[in-house]
Amino acid sequence: MSDLEGRTLDRYKLKQLIGKGGMADVYLGYDPRFERTVAVKVFRRDDEDLLRRFIREARLMANLRHASLMPIYDAGESVLDGLTQYYIVMPFMENGTLRGRIRRQPPLSLQEISNYLTHIADALDYIHKRGIIHRDIKSSNVLLDTEGRCYLSDFGIARTATDATMTTTGGVLGTVDYVAPELFEEGQKANAYSDLYSLGILLFEMVTRRFPFAAESQIALIAMHINNPPPSPRRLVPQISAPTEKVILKALAKRPELRYATATTFAEAFCLSLTPRSGENTTSEVTPRREPVSTDPGDAKTAVKPVALSTLSVRPAPLAGLTESHLLPATNAPFAQQPAGVMQHSPRLRRMTMVALALVMLLAVMAPALFFVLGHHQLRPVTPTPEAPQPVVQIHTAATPTARATMTPTPNITATAHVATATAEQQVKSAKATALAQPTGSTATGDVQTAPTGNALYTDPLNNSGAPATAQANWNESNSCTFQGDGYHVTSRSALVTCMESSHSYRDATISVDMTLLNGQIGGVIFRMSSVPFVGNYAGYLFEVDSQGNYSFSCSSITAGNTVLKEGSIPHGFRSGYHVKNTLQIVMNGSSLSFYINGVFLDQETDTAFAAGTMGFLALSASAVYSHLRIYSIA
């Protein structure tokens, strides 16, 4: 229902779509009667059962009075364009969700975590005493105001002791990352103990900026909740004390009776564990380690095949500003070649790389000819200065000069539909004129006017490895990188997998590609990538997007790991979920890098780490399909 932007529902003016849920959209709105900004939650599904839940949520929230529960201003229904729209009006929380705060820098301090946990626990005990089980405790359901107070929200799947429908079905609802293991057993229903387990996951996420369990499918993740002990929080965050770790692990006990009796008891135990010992400072930031952590699976039996944590990475909270954890294959070779397309960022690999680079420098003194070889593998290329201009785009290929003629130009990349009726030549001229007239950026609505593009360098539907342009590009083909009828499939079980073409090197150009996530976490584009000598790995930029519309832009260096330069949420126009197509666009113009999704401007960053290189696609614990690749030069 993004078409409700700019409309008036009852007396509320809906300005902008700011969030999507399972059964409702949330709009930034304005209430002229009280002259205040509000959040308007509008039901958007054609489902009678979900509508009953939505109305029930409004009534439930209206009867709850607690300082840490999201209040509601109004609720009702209104006819718009002949359709009845149901809505709930709440305060607008300027600081967004706790999930967003966890992902931002700097990390939460232990004192901030303690304050949030105390308020959430107090609200949880309040509803538990009234016979209400929330069933969806998670960081995205906790909202923050400008004063730093937090509010528990979203009672859409909560159940009460008097709700016969919800208590007799016994169905498992909620987000699998947070669901208690006993709820996957037949005949088990959600209760206060299962809410407390979800609160324990939330605490683990706040402290470590990661989830304790990660898997490529929900079935595997369920098995880990049932079988595997959580990883040691102290190995991820060395600053926390042993008593603090003990509190977190007790909250995540597999057996409900071994957890805390109440949420308040849990919060108090955590606060007491923060009592400073000699030399400790509880107000300092908690900085997670970047090393991968693995533990052995437990001995509990289950109908689902257990998944060994030793084969999986510990997943960060979605798009957190941390390095992905990858496990190196067992090898005794000091410079073992890693599997093609898999990026590794372990400390051991960094040490090996430093030794390799030192060796390269020594050999360079003895053999000047080596400079010519390494000139094609610069780890951190230098951006050309204005006094020494470089070619706009460099293409290195072993193909014959006639090979470029086989590339079929596609329409120019624009965010305004009316330009599509113009000819390709007019589009190019318009794009150049726009690029010269004003810097690429956002308008008042955040949409890109026209992405600056020039001559088509490479266009490819990516559905046939034998096509001339595809064969010329020399794409990776393996179990993780396959061409199929609907596009180029990139599949990752746990580590970050990259599938690249190796024939072209792009400096100043635009990249546009359609991405369809089939399952899992994250997909995206890698660009200005270069190979690192001896190590068999790559360095460059990553533009990542998850299924819920969160994005991240990072710089990947073998020696420094993955550094997040920018992350956030797509303001509007993103199609969330799986098996839906979104168009990712990147504009590379010198050190200026701009990012768009479906024509919506996201961000413009300046970085000089990498000036040119090849491109490809990525998947992190996900399967994604890429199609209709279009790359244009910037003239």
Q: Which residues are annotated as a binding site?
A: 41
Taking the chain, what is the end-to-end CA distance rounded to the nearest angstrom? 39
Rounded CA gap, 249 and 258, in Å? Answer: 10
Ramachandran quadrant class, 590 (left: phi over 0; alpha: psi -120 to 50; beta: rest)? left
Task: Count the Cβ atoms, other than its own, within 10 Å of residue 465.
Answer: 14
Give a three-class secondary structure readout of 89-142: EEECCCCCEHHHHHHCCCCCEHHHHHHHHHHHHHHHHHHHHCCEECCCCCHHHE
Report DSSP state, residue 73.
S
In the 3-class helix/strand/coil scheme, how is 508-556 assigned residue by residue? Answer: CEEEEEEEEEEEEEEEEEEEEEEEECCCCEEEEEEEEEECCCEEEEEEE
DSSP, collapsed to helix, strand or coil, labels residue 166 as helix
In degrees and rounded to multiples of 5, residue 624 shows phi and psi of -135, 150
- Six token digits for residue 218: 């929900």
- Quote the radius of gyration of the chain (alpha carbons, Å): 26
CB 531 within 8 A of CB 375: no
- The answer to whether residues 475 and 500 touch, using CB atoms and an 8 Å cutoff, is yes
DSSP 335-346: TPPPPTTB----
- The Cα 84–Cα 517 span in angstroms is 33
The identity of residue 516, as a single letter, is T
Q: Which residues are annotated as a binding site for ATP?
A: 41
Going from the C-alpha of 510 to that of each of 152, 270, 593, 623, the distances in angstroms are: 42, 50, 10, 24
Q: DSSP label at 329? A: P
* Alpha-carbon separation of residue 498 from 369, 505, 525, 563, 580 (angstroms): 32, 17, 9, 17, 21
Cα(109)–Cα(150) distance, integer angstroms: 15
Query: What are the residues whose beta carbons fall under 8 Å from the beta carbon of 371, sequence distance 6 or more?
Result: 364
What is the dihedral sign for C-alpha 563, 569, 570, 571? negative
φ/ψ (deg, to 5) at 58: -60, -45
Neighbour count for residue 622 (Cβ, 10 Å):
24
Q: Comparing C-alpha atoms, which of 60, 55, 16 is closest to residue 39?
A: 16
Omega prior to 106 cis, within 30 of 0:
yes
